[in-house]
């Protein structure tokens, strides 16, 4: 079976079986081509609730499928590869947050959506990289705790100096691969190119950027910019998606190492096996956890607009 034949069969079967395929932008292009929706974490959360289909296949990592189940309990939600987790989502546990809350009662806990459903149950509001600044600025609190990504938290802190923001030690191992030496090398090789980076990257990398924002933000900037060359400082799938979409522009990886191992676990064959044979892990969540984890997500959707 060729890739094209497999894709055609997936498209036929997903319609026949009422399956919505949601795909994060870090997933490979052959899967993007069979998606009902492609986007960043914020877009995927909104789409999860809005999709009319009874079944959802989330091609991404576990916290994304959990978010989908939290928002749409009546749907059957499947994760594209059962080992696809996000290491950052598991870096902080519930007990640490409970201890912080005891020490600083009344200080809201803002959780990056890259957290487990269990951790969300003790948090007050979720954010994604696309909505973080707007939400933190809109919050009626002088002091907050932001978890788990120290780089994203530091970036929010810098852009929102009116708030006191506590941070914990967490971060994305994929974005941490990019260093200031990569920036120097890439800028020397492509002197006219704009540098676009994700705020999960190290501060010294973000400081050199022409634009910092979510995956969707980076793609929008590149699409709409008059510039012709771009160095992309986020997961390298974005480079190939952009190159396909804008053939008259040139896109370069900031670092060859910026590849999320977890996002790369899902293959087109996994998607095919799910729609053809139902072979994928279904997300099951107890109602108590779901309702408690839903509160900060609802708050995000309400404050994020």
Q: Which residues of this chain interact with ligand SF4, rule CB under 6 A? A: 61, 86-88, 114, 172-175, 235, 260, 262-263
Question: Which has the closest alpha carbon to 43: 68, 62, 19, 20?
Answer: 68
Complex with ligand 13P: residue 132 or 231, whichever CB lies closer: 132
- Tell me if 197 sits within 8 A of 234, measured CB to CB: yes
Helix, strand, coil % over all residues of the chain, rounded to 5:
45, 15, 35
Main-chain phi, psi angles of 37, to 5 degrees:
-155, 135
- Tell me if 134 sits within 8 A of 51, measured CB to CB: no
Question: Which has the closest alpha carbon to 44: 66, 68, 9, 72?
Answer: 68
CA angle, residues 275, 279, 284, in degrees to nearest 5: 105
Rounded to a whole number of angstroms, the minimum distance from the CB of residue 89 to ligand 13P is 9
Complex with ligand 13P: residue 86 or 126, whichever CB lies closer: 86
Measure the CA–CA gap between 10 and 4, rounded to whole angstroms: 10
Residue 128 lies near ligand 13P (rule: CB under 6 A): yes
Rounded to a whole number of angstroms, the minimum distance from the CB of residue 98 to ligand 13P is 25
Residue 114 lies near ligand 13P (rule: CB under 6 A): yes
Residue 116 lies near ligand 13P (rule: CB under 6 A): no
Question: Which does residue 186 touch among ligand 13P, ligand SF4, none (CB within 5 to 8 A, set by kind)?
Answer: none
Question: Which has the closest alpha carbon to 62: 43, 86, 45?
Answer: 86
Question: Which does residue 41 touch among ligand 13P, ligand SF4, none (CB within 5 to 8 A, set by kind)?
Answer: ligand 13P
Complex with ligand 13P: residue 213 or 272, whichever CB lies closer: 213
Residue 40 lies near ligand 13P (rule: CB under 6 A): yes
- Pick from 115, 121, 129, 208 the residue near ligand 13P by CB under 6 A: 129
- Pick from 45, 215, 236, 237 the residue near ligand 13P by CB under 6 A: 215
Question: Which does residue 262 touch among ligand 13P, ligand SF4, none (CB within 5 to 8 A, set by kind)?
Answer: ligand SF4
- Tell me if 205 sits within 8 A of 176, measured CB to CB: no
Q: Which residues of 267-286 are buried (b: 16+ CB within 10 A; e: fewer)?
A: bbebbbebbeeeebbebebe
Residue 115 lies near ligand 13P (rule: CB under 6 A): no
- Contacts with ligand 13P by CB under 6 A lie at 40-42, 86, 114, 128-130, 172, 200, 214-215
């Amino acid at each position: 079976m060729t890739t094209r034949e497999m894709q055609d069969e997936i498209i036929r079967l997903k319609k026949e079986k009422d399956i919505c395929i949601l795909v994060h932008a870090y997933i490979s292009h052959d899967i993007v081509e069979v998606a009902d929706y492609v986007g960043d974490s914020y877009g995927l959360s909104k789409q999860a609730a809005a999709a009319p289909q009874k079944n959802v296949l989330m091609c991404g990592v576990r916290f994304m499928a959990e978010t989908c189940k939290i928002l749409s309990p009546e749907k059957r939600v499947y994760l594209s590869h059962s080992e696809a987790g996000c290491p950052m989502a598991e870096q902080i546990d519930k007990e640490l947050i409970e201890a912080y809350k005891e020490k600083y009662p009344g200080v809201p806990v803002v959780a990056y959506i890259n957290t487990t459903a269990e951790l969300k149950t003790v948090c007050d509001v979720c954010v994604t990289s696309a909505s973080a600044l707007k939400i933190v600025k809109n919050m009626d609190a002088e002091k907050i705790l932001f978890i788990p990504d120290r780089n994203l938290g530091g970036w929010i802190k810098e852009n929102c100096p009116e708030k006191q923001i506590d941070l914990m030690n967490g971060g994305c191992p994929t974005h941490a691969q990019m260093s200031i030496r990569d920036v120097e090398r890439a800028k020397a090789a492509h002197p006219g190119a704009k540098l676009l980076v994700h705020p999960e990257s190290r501060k010294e990398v973000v400081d050199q950027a022409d634009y910092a924002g979510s995956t969707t933000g980076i793609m929008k900037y590149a699409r709409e910019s008059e510039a012709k060359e771009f160095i992309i400082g986020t997961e390298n799938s974005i480079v190939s998606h952009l190159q396909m979409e804008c053939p008259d522009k040139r896109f370069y990886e900031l670092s060859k190492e910026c590849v999320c191992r977890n996002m790369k676990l899902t293959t087109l064959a996994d998607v095919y096996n799910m729609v053809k044979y139902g072979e994928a892990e279904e997300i099951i969540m107890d109602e108590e956890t779901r309702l408690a984890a839903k509160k900060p997500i609802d708050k995000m959707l309400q404050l994020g607009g």
